[in-house]
């Protein structure tokens, strides 16, 4: 169970199943196949974002309010690669207010085209 307040995520109660384990019963997605075919692979959870690269699973982002050690690493059966302190996810994801994505997209497209937004 999670709670969201002030743009931060809090784990109110842990689930009973681990999500990142060493062995699974059935494979429905092959990371090895994806890597062999130069696919970019991200695993996105409510707590973190991981990227699969040639060396393994890399922790790249954490949700605001989440403690990496307590809320992520302590619940994994293996240690992900951590090359640098993970970035913090955009806090707007954890808010009920509109994210303003339409405006953001328009601004990015205009910037790519060298236009100025009014």
Q: How confident is the model at residue 117 (pLDDT cuts 50, 70, 90)?
A: low
Q: Exposed, middle or buried, 8 (CB in 10 Å: 0-12/13-18/19+)? A: middle
**DSSP per-residue codes, 12-49:** SS--SS-SS-S--S--SS-HHHHHHTT--EEEE-SSEE
Tens of pLDDT, residues 22-73 = 888 888 899 889 988 999 999 999 999 999 998 999 999 999 999 999 999 9
pTM for the whole structure: 0.80
């Amino acid at each position: 169970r999670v709670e969201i307040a002030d743009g931060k995520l809090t784990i109110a109660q842990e689930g009973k199943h681990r999500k990142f384990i060493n062995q699974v019963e059935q494979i429905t997605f092959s990371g090895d196949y994806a890597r062999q075919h130069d696919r970019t692979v991200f695993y996105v959870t409510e707590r973190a974002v991981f990227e699969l690269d040639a060396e393994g699973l890399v922790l790249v982002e954490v949700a605001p309010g989440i403690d990496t050690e307590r809320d992520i690493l302590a619940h994994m059966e293996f240690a992900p690669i951590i090359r640098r302190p993970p970035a913090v996810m955009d806090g707007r994801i954890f808010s009920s207010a509109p994210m303003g994505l339409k405006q953001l997209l328009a601004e990015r497209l205009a910037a790519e085209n060298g236009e100025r937004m009014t």
